[in-house]
């Protein structure tokens, strides 16, 4: 049976771009037969930038409840917090020592900051902490600790997986075939959602539609979608942001009716009302679950603790193997 593992960073409220681009495909992926799935909340990766106690607690629950509400089944997926599996930090230290510094210098996230600093005329390492610099090694540790066969990721994480494979290779070259070399899988049929202003929906552009908020906020947010000043009777382009979003939530027959209305003329206000209706209908059952978990945090803790117990069973075995191989047992 193949073992799949992936990490989820708690970085604030999920938006519908995260849902269609990452959460939904990963949950569907976890439902395949003959696979073991390990999905974890990478809270110690978030610590590189998230350095406020209240936000750390809140974001961690928000992301855990979001995934549970969206259909992650704890019986099918071992769901845990990275920080509940302390073995990862011992492996992390060990892997530090087979990782050339130059490999980290070439990591995209670090390189981007260095380049930005150079352009701004400040010292190259301004604003870089060692956690950020070593981020890819911790990620390699997450993966190899659990003997993962394959890591489903978004395209933005590809370099991190190449680095993990390099680190694995370096270790095995020195100590024998001890660590499993991870493959990765990039889902290529995910879509990129556009935000309120027509650019890619992203927290960094502040143009998102939150996945879980109250109905009034959802309605108000949809009303902020930027449109032009055409009259209700004017035909509208079928590839407008409103229609692109509509297609994700509406049935085929509803989509046909909307296409028809846009071609012959419908006011933007009415189109937004109709978008709100289908979106709310789609999200409401998940929102109910989300609200339930957010107010039953002990249940969430229990799920994550159970997951950590399962993950640690594998982790301790890997670590024993590694310690023996390097001669510290
Ligand atoms: P943000 O850009 O809002 O900070 P993240 O970088 O935290 O989002 O992305 C988390 C996951 O959600 C990634 O796998 C990313 O590919 C996916 N994602 C983010 N924004 C979108 C979007 N607009 N459309 C589709 N997927 C997205
Ligand atoms: N770096 C990943 C991200 O930002 C999160 C992550 C941490 C991860 N550890 C991992 C992903 C291990 C896959 C495997 O999305």
pLDDT tens sequence across 185-237: 998 777 899 999 999 999 999 999 999 999 999 999 999 999 999 999 999 99
- pLDDT over threshold 90, residue 12: no
Ligand with the closest atom to the CA of 143 = 2
Residue ID of nearest Cα to ligand 1 atom 26: 21
pLDDT tier at 90, thresholds 50, 70, 90: very high
Ligand with the closest atom to the CA of 6 = 2
Q: Which residues contact 98 (CB under 8 A, 6 or more apart)?
A: 167, 170, 171, 174
Closest alpha carbon to 302 in 62, 22, 64: 64
Query: pLDDT value at position 6?
Result: 96
- pLDDT over threshold 90, residue 33: no
Mean of per-residue pLDDT scores for the chain = 96
Q: What is the pLDDT of residues 271-287, one digit of tens each?
A: 999 999 999 999 999 99
The answer to whether the CB of 157 falls within 8 A of the CB of 149 is no
**Interval between CA 13 and ligand 2 midpoint (Å):** 17
Q: What is the pLDDT of residues 295-324, one digit of tens each?
A: 999 999 999 999 999 999 999 999 999 999
Q: Which atom of ligand 2 is nearest to the CA of 42?
A: 7
**Interval between CA 21 and ligand 1 midpoint (Å):** 6
Residue ID of nearest Cα to ligand 1 atom 7: 11
Mean local confidence (pLDDT), 139-168: 96
Lowest mean pLDDT of 23-32, 95-104, 133-142, name the range: 23-32
**Interval between CA 108 and ligand 2 midpoint (Å):** 14
Query: pLDDT value at position 11?
Result: 87
Please state, in angstroms and rounded to a whole number, the distance separating the CA atoms of residues 267 and 264: 10
What is the percent of the chain with per-residue pLDDT over 70, rounded to a whole number? 100
Query: pLDDT value at position 187?
Result: 82
Angle between helices 268-294 and 53-69 (to 10 degrees): 100
The count of other CB atoms within 10 Å of the CB of residue 34 is 6
Q: Which atom of ligand 2 is nearest to the CA of 139?
A: 9
Mean local confidence (pLDDT), 2-31: 94
Q: What angle do CA 167, 168, 173 make, to 5 degrees?
A: 100
Ligand 2: lining residues by beta carbon, under 6 Å: 6-7, 9, 42, 45, 139, 142-143, 151, 153, 157, 160
Please state, in angstroms and rounded to a whole number, the distance separating the CA atoms of residues 152 and 191: 16
Please state, in angstroms and rounded to a whole number, the distance separating the CA atoms of residues 289 and 165: 38
Q: How many CA atoms lie within 13 A of 4 on its CB side?
A: 20
pLDDT tier at 241, thresholds 50, 70, 90: very high
Q: Is 201 in the pocket of ligand 1 (CB under 6 A)?
A: yes
Q: What is the pLDDT of residues 104-145, one digit of tens each?
A: 999 999 999 999 999 999 999 999 999 999 999 999 999 999
* Count of positions (residues) in the chain: 329
Q: Which atom of ligand 2 is nearest to the CA of 45?
A: 7
- pLDDT over threshold 80, residue 325: yes
Q: Which residues pair with 67 in a beta bridge?
A: none
């Amino acid at each position: 049976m193949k073992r799949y593992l992936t990490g989820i960073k708690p970085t604030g409220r999920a938006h519908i771009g995260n849902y269609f681009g990452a959460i939904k495909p990963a949950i569907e992926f976890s439902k395949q037969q003959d696979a073991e799935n390990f999905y974890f909340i990478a809270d110690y990766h978030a610590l590189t930038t998230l350095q406020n106690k209240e936000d750390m607690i809140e974001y961690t629950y928000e992301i855990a409840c979001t995934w549970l509400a969206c259909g992650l089944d704890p019986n099918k997926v071992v769901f845990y917090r990275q920080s509940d599996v302390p073995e990862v930090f011992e492996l992390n230290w060990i892997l530090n020592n087979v990782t050339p510094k130059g490999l980290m210098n070439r990591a995209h996230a670090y390189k981007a900051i260095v380049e930005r600093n150079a352009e701004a005329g400040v010292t190259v390492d301004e604003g870089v902490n060692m956690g950020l610099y070593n981020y890819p090694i911790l990620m390699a540790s997450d993966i190899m600790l659990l003997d993962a066969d394959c890591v489903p990721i978004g395209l933005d994480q590809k370099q991190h997986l190449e680095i993990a494979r390099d680190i694995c290779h370096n270790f095995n070259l020195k100590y024998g075939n001890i660590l499993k070399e991870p493959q990765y899988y990039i889902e290529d049929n995910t879509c990129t959602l556009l935000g309120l202003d027509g650019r890619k929906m992203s927290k960094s552009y502040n143009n998102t539609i939150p996945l879980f908020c109250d109905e009034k906020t959802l309605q108000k947010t949809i009303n902020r979608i930027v449109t032009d000043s055409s009259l209700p009777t004017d035909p509208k382009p079928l590839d407008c942001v409103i229609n692109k979003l509509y297609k994700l939530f509406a049935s085929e027959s509803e989509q046909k009716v909307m296409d028809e209305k846009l071609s012959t003329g419908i006011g933007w206000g009415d189109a937004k009302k109709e978008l709100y209706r289908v979106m709310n209908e789609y999200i409401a059952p998940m929102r109910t679950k989300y609200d339930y978990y957010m107010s039953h945090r002990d249940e969430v803790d229990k799920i994550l603790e159970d997951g950590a117990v399962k993950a640690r069973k594998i982790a301790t075995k890997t670590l024993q193997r590694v310690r023996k191989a390097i001669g510290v047992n």
